[in-house]
Amino acid sequence: MTKKTLAKASYLQMQKKFWEMPRGKQETFLKNLYSLSPITKDIFSIWLADEENLVLHRLLEQIEKETIRKIGRSRKIKVSNLNLIIKNAKSYPLSKISIIEIYYTICIDMLEFIYNVKWIAARYQKSCAKFIEHYFDHLQDIAEISEREKRKNEMMNIIKTYLHEGIYAPDIEILYDELSE
């Protein structure tokens, strides 16, 4: 038997056993599964309660906590935490627009952090440039060309504003020049 066959067989066996359980045990099983982790709760919220906006709002709050809420309190951002937020968001059944919104918020908040903190490690502006690049890559998932162009122009104008305000970010400036061509 191949691994795929074994996986399918075990899923079918689990499904069969689940439906053989009494109703009370099924409910307890689902309740335990739901309380397994915050990620599981978010997935249940999206699939069963159709609360994608609520989950997206929580993710955007986490991003804000890791970025702009640190202005004036810290000179550091944990980029690994932002990457973890993105990784988790991609494991959720979120729409492509929601993923784009997550990248948009990270880009804007990191630009704001870089602008306000001034003297920070170069790795932050490099990370910001990467997030901007990922944002533009994900824009390709939008089918409507007018919407894609609108979002692209909006981000380009925001980057341009920060660059004209005197933000020191050579990697972002290079990326801006490449995208402007």
Task: Identify the band that residue 131 occupies on the pLDDT scale cut at 50, 70 and 90.
Answer: very high
In a domain, 6, yes or no: no
Give yes or no: residues 78 and 148 share one domain. Answer: yes
Give yes or no: residues 86 and 168 share one domain. Answer: yes
Q: Residue 17 is part of which domain span?
A: 13-50
Task: Identify the band that residue 142 occupies on the pLDDT scale cut at 50, 70 and 90.
Answer: confident
pLDDT of residue 101: 95
Query: What's the per-residue H, E or C state across the chain?
Result: CCHHHHHHHHHHHHHHHHHHCCHHHHHHHHHHHHCCCHHHHHHHHHHHHCCHHHHHHHHHHHHHHHCHHHCCCCCCCCHHHHHHHHHHHHHCCCCHHHHHHHHHHHHHHHHHHHHHHCCCCHHHHHHHHHHHHHHHHHHCCCCCHHHHHHHHHHHHHHHHHHHHCCCCCHHHHHHHHHHHC
pLDDT of residue 7: 56
Task: Identify the band that residue 155 occupies on the pLDDT scale cut at 50, 70 and 90.
Answer: very high
Give yes or no: residues 120 and 86 share one domain. Answer: yes
pLDDT in tens, 78-124: 999 999 999 989 988 888 999 999 999 999 999 999 888 877 788 88
Give yes or no: residues 42 and 70 share one domain. Answer: no
Across the range 145-171, mean pLDDT stands at 90
